[in-house]
Amino acid sequence: MGWALLGAGLLLALGVLLRHRLRAPAQPRSRPDLRGRTAIVTGGSGGIGEATARGLARCGARVVLAARCARRGEAAARRIRTETGNPEVLFMPLDLASLRSVRAFASAFLRQEPHLHLLVNNAGVSAGGTTEDGFSLTFQVNHLGHFLLTQLLLERLQRSAPSRVVIVASAAHRAGRLNPAALGRPPPGPLPTFQGYCDSKLANVLHARELATRLQGTQVTAYAVHPGGCCGSDVKQYVYGGWAWAWWCITDTQRISLEIMTLQPRCEDVETAEGVALTVTGVAQVKIMTEKELLAVACEQFLGKNVQDVKNVVLQTLEGHLRSILGTLTVEQIYQDRDQFAKLVREVAAPDVGRMGIEILSFTIKVDKGVVPLAGTDGETTTQGLDGLSERCAQYKKDGADFAKWRCVLKISDNTPSALAIMENANVLARYASICQQNGIVPIVEPEILPDGDHDLKRCQYVTEKVLAAVYKALSDHHVYLEGTLLKPNMVTPGHSCPTKYSPEEIAMATVTALRRTVPPAVPGVTFLSGGQSEEEASINLNAINTCPLVRPWALTFSYGRALQASALSAWRGQKDNATAATEEFVKRAEVNGDGPMGGDPKSCVPMDGGAPGTTSLWVGGDTEGHVPRADRRHRGLCPTVGGMPRSRSPLGAR
């Protein structure tokens, strides 16, 4: 027992000593000036090779990192350039397991580099297998590939003298046993991989000795070096679960979490394709992948970082993709098909996240739209958010906003919309409009009736009239100045599932009739939603509305974006070169809708009775600029007008 304790104590003391010696900081040495010198470091994408290249770069040398993996090699070159401030660090591909690759590297180097002062043959492996050239993988990478490379570059080394060749060998060469009859073949024995490594290191030492002898008097010197008790970047072991044997005194161990991480990417005030500002929060579950190659990628980026650091990197990536996708969709596409939207985010973000070695397990969204259930109804809703609206409007006015928009949504079914839902949403719109006008902002009032369902045209007209009548009663009760408002309603159309098809003239007659019965002539203009119509349907129906024989005491135009997109997307096809054509197509569609009846005079958008209040004035109380027609101003980003109304921007400058 005593001898066992003594032995354990001696081993412990030896371990502490080794740990101290191996991890003690190196004493600073004078740094040679290597400016104007060119060096090659094989295996320079990590480990000893990268450390060597970094040291040479700090001394001012031009350094070529020769490595198999372009991604890792380029990344190492960038790191070294950043850390040293030396811009002359570059990567060139070299696979020592292929003699063809060795010759290609040497040929490319000799073409582009006039000098070579230092060749560091550092790359090495300890693995089984055979190369495409028929040799043991370990022996070819560690020795044969370097031998050929040195011979191909030797003349350039001699022309650049004084120069040197440094071969990174190992103390393991002492266990090497070279058999000339079986050179380059996996050695026999119980540990062929280890024996093959020792044999290759013995070949390194013999190569350096013979090279030094043959180069005597040429000012080209050759050295074999033992790097000490360390391992290169390729000698890593990934252990799942945390159980592994390690030489605690000389092995550097780091951990990376494989647990599922929950993230909440959030994008505030992102404008949709229709210009509607939304705040969207997603919920994503991600984790580091455990496949060997992908785990190695994740380890390269995240080893040594805590879970929060990993979360922050992934979160920024997800938020960037989420923001870009939101700008291509409409509010309806986001609200009504969240599963499809979430799938799109996953598909778009997955490649970038995957390049970090991370997979997206799930992604869902929750849209902060302020819509809450309305008590006492059959699943109907109302919109919240009036608290603090006055202060927000005051700030928006200072920021240059002229318009604001508030949307309340109603659905048609056998039992909806109920009288309670109609009244509640009308009052919300009226309170919003009153607050906007108190702060000098023109309110856009949007009571939208969704086109979902199988209701016919008559049912939609009936519901539209009830809703608009309630809205304008509420606006009157709240003393809203109608001349300073805009209405953004749906066209009167049948439900998407309605079996009966109606002509544009029938839709126009129903729409204009509903407006004439409910919307006061004092309202300057009506800017229609597309309501899920295609661009052809929306344009044709708008044209029919503007050619309807009924008197229309308002400017009638459009405020939709989705119904302008199909032709533009078809022209674009996701190609950068098609961007100009797509833009022209989009503008063309906007002009078709904005210039009144298609093929007719744009002036026919002006009301038939000779003019509406909106064509001459759009003013709200508290406007310090007085009764200047806002619709005729050409500043603060307002678009050209038709019939006194902005025609190609939705939601008409709203913030």
Catalytic residue numbers read: 446, 488
| Alpha-carbon span 621 to 480, nearest angstrom | 10
First to last CA, the chain: 83
Q: Which residue in the block uniquely carries the two structure tokens 């391992």?
A: 231
10 Å CB burial of residue 7 (0-12, 13-18, 19+) is: exposed
Nearest to 468 by CA among 414, 530, 510: 510
Q: Which residue in the block uniquely carries the two structure tokens 């533009």?
A: 568
For the chain, what's the residue count? 655
Nearest to 304 by CA among 257, 261, 355: 257
Say which residues have a Cβ less than 8 Å from residue 509's Cβ, sequence separation at least 6.
548, 550
| Alpha-carbon span 118 to 36, nearest angstrom | 12
SS3 assignment, position 360: strand
Backbone angles phi, psi at 373, to 5 degrees: -60, 145
**How many C-alpha atoms does 230 have within 13 Å on its Cβ side?**
15
Rg (CA), the chain: 37
- DSSP of 401-418: --EEEEEEEE--SSS-S-
SS3 assignment, position 176: coil
SS3 assignment, position 520: coil
Nearest to 275 by CA among 434, 481, 488: 488
- DSSP of 601-653: -GGGGS-TTS--GGGT----TT-TT-S--GGG---TTPPPEETTEE-S-TTTT
Element spanning 17, H or E: helix 2-23
| Alpha-carbon span 631 to 527, nearest angstrom | 13
Amino acid at 609: D
Nearest to 589 by CA among 652, 648, 503: 648
Q: Which residue in the block uniquely carries the two structure tokens 């500002």?
A: 277
Alpha-carbon distances of 41 from 73, 116, 405, 486, rounded to whole Å: 11, 11, 63, 71
Whether residue 640 has a cis bond before it, omega within 30° of 0: no
SS3 assignment, position 309: helix
Query: Nearest 5 degrees, angle CA 187-CA 193-CA 199?
Result: 55
Whether residue 499 has a cis bond before it, omega within 30° of 0: no
Say which residues have a Cβ less than 8 Å from residue 186's Cβ, sequence separation at least 6.
128, 130, 136, 192, 196
